[in-house]
């Protein structure tokens, strides 16, 4: 009995720091990043003896949202895994490693809740925002779109609240 | 004893190579409209790229199209819209252009890539994802309409009716 209590306590103690770690990490990454286009290569299937520790590299373009300020950027990386492209309306949490030059992305491990891996991107910020298929938008135009989307989302949520109010 | 000296010399050489590449020495602007590229990897990291493509040159506020090829480029070549042109200069007038590529993750550091070029009588544009050509006069009129002249810092398109205007 005592044994099971102590092993339970040990598990509990182990669980607290890891849970905190996950929560703390996501809070420490206040920026949002979308990866819109990329190309790269993974070495995981090669027999190259030098590929250990640097399994994937790539480059591409994406957008960064810092507060309510959107900016486009070009990036290059060498990471332990291939950087997955973000789907529409999905972003990665990120933080500056070197302001305006290097970003650390927090990438969820597929199929595992609250598990992340990180990847550092070398970047060059742009004065515009990337849109689909390598086209660009001005920052004010992007802000206007974001504002419009927020308004549309708010009106949908208000509309959906009406039936609830009547009940 | 010799090794640290050689290493220091190499570091100095590479630093001076970066330092020598200043945007003000590359007054022309190049827009990569299309490219087919192969990238090479060494020790798990990007080594160099080579390929061919189509691009536009902006020289003396005049646009002109050209085909190009490159054999060893220190970075992947990016297809870009008009807002994202690269600084460039002639290495051999009408035959070879050197483009300036910012080093990602480093402020004010640049690398160069030499493009062998074949000038065209038309300008390349992308329309709904497809590559096509238009006469330089038409492109010039478009540049004037949108107050676009990347050689002189006018990189942002003005008077756009909608987003698709950027792809005209």
- The nearest alpha carbon in chain A to B168 belongs to A135
Cα distance between residue A29 and residue B32, in whole Å: 34
A123 touches chain B (CB under 8 A): yes
Q: What pLDDT score was predicted for residue A49?
A: 41
Is the C-alpha dihedral spanning A17, A20, A21, A22 positive or negative?
positive
Cα distance between residue A142 and residue B117, in whole Å: 36
Phi, psi for residue B128 in degrees, rounded to 5: 50, 45
Residue whose C-alpha is closest to residue B30's, from B1, B3, B72, B70: B70
Chain B residues touching residue A136 (CB < 8 angstroms): 81, 83-84, 166
What would the pLDDT profile of B18-56 be if each residue is shown by its tens digit?
557 899 999 999 999 999 999 888 877 788 999 999 999
Pinpoint the alpha helices (H) of chain A: 2-27, 139-166
What's the half-sphere exposure (Cβ side, CA atoms, 13 Å) at B159? 8
Q: What pLDDT score was predicted for residue A150?
A: 83
Secondary structure letter of residue A83 according to DSSP: P
Secondary structure letter of residue B161 according to DSSP: S
Record: contact A50-B43, CB cut-off 8 A? yes
What would the pLDDT profile of A64-85 be if each residue is shown by its tens digit?
999 989 999 999 998 988 888 8
CA distances (Å), B60 to each of A107, B146, B150, in order?
A: 46, 17, 10
ipTM greater than cut 0.90: no
pLDDT in tens, chain A (167 residues): 444 444 434 433 334 334 334 544 567 899 999 999 877 766 654 444 444 455 788 899 999 999 989 999 999 998 988 888 888 778 999 999 999 999 999 998 888 888 899 999 999 999 999 987 778 888 998 899 888 888 887 776 665 554 444 43
Best of A59, A73, A79 to substitute, by most chain B Cβ atoms within 10 angstroms, is: A59
How many Å is the maximal CA-CA distance in chain B? Answer: 66
Residue whose C-alpha is closest to residue A61's, from B128, B165, B76: B76
Chain A residues touching residue B42 (CB < 8 angstroms): 50
Distance from CA of B124 to the nearest CA of A (A): 15
Token digits of residue A62: 């994406």
A138 touches chain B (CB under 8 A): yes
B74 touches chain A (CB under 8 A): no
Q: Which residues of chain B have pLDDT under 50?
A: 1, 11-17, 164-168
């Amino acid at each position: 009995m005592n044994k099971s209590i102590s092993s339970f306590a040990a598990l509990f103690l182990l669980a607290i720091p890891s849970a905190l770690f996950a929560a703390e990490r996501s809070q420490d990454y206040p920026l949002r990043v979308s990866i819109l286009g990329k190309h790269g290569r993974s070495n995981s299937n090669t027999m190259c003896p030098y590929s250990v520790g640097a399994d994937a590299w790539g480059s591409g373009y994406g957008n960064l949202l810092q507060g309510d300020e959107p900016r486009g950027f070009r990036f290059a990386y060498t990471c332990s895994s291939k950087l997955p492209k973000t789907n529409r309306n999905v972003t990665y949490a990120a933080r500056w490693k070197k302001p305006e030059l290097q970003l650390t992305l927090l990438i969820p491990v597929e199929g595992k809740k609250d598990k992340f891996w990180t990847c550092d991107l070398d970047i060059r910020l742009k004065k515009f925002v990337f849109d689909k298929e390598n086209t660009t938008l001005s920052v004010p135009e992007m802000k206007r779109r974001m504002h419009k989307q927020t308004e549309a989302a708010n009106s949908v949520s208000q509309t959906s609240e009406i039936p609830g109010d009547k009940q | 004893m010799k090794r640290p000296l050689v290493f220091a010399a190499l570091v100095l050489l590479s630093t001076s190579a970066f330092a020598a590449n200043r945007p003000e020495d590359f007054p022309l602007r190049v827009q990569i409209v299309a490219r087919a590229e192969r990238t090479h990897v060494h020790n798990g990291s990007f080594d160099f790229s080579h390929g061919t493509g189509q691009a536009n040159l902006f020289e003396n506020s005049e646009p002109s199209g050209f085909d190009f090829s490159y054999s060893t480029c220190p970075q992947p070549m990016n297809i870009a819209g008009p807002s994202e042109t690269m600084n460039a200069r002639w290495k051999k007038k009408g035959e070879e252009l050197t483009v300036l590529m910012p080093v990602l993750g480093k402020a004010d550091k640049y690398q160069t890539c030499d493009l062998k070029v074949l000038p065209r009588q038309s300008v390349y544009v992308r329309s709904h994802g497809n590559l096509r050509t238009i006469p330089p006069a038409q492109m010039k009129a478009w540049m004037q309409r949108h107050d676009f002249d990347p050689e002189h810092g006018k990189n942002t398109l003005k008077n756009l009716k909608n987003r698709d205007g950027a792809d005209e």
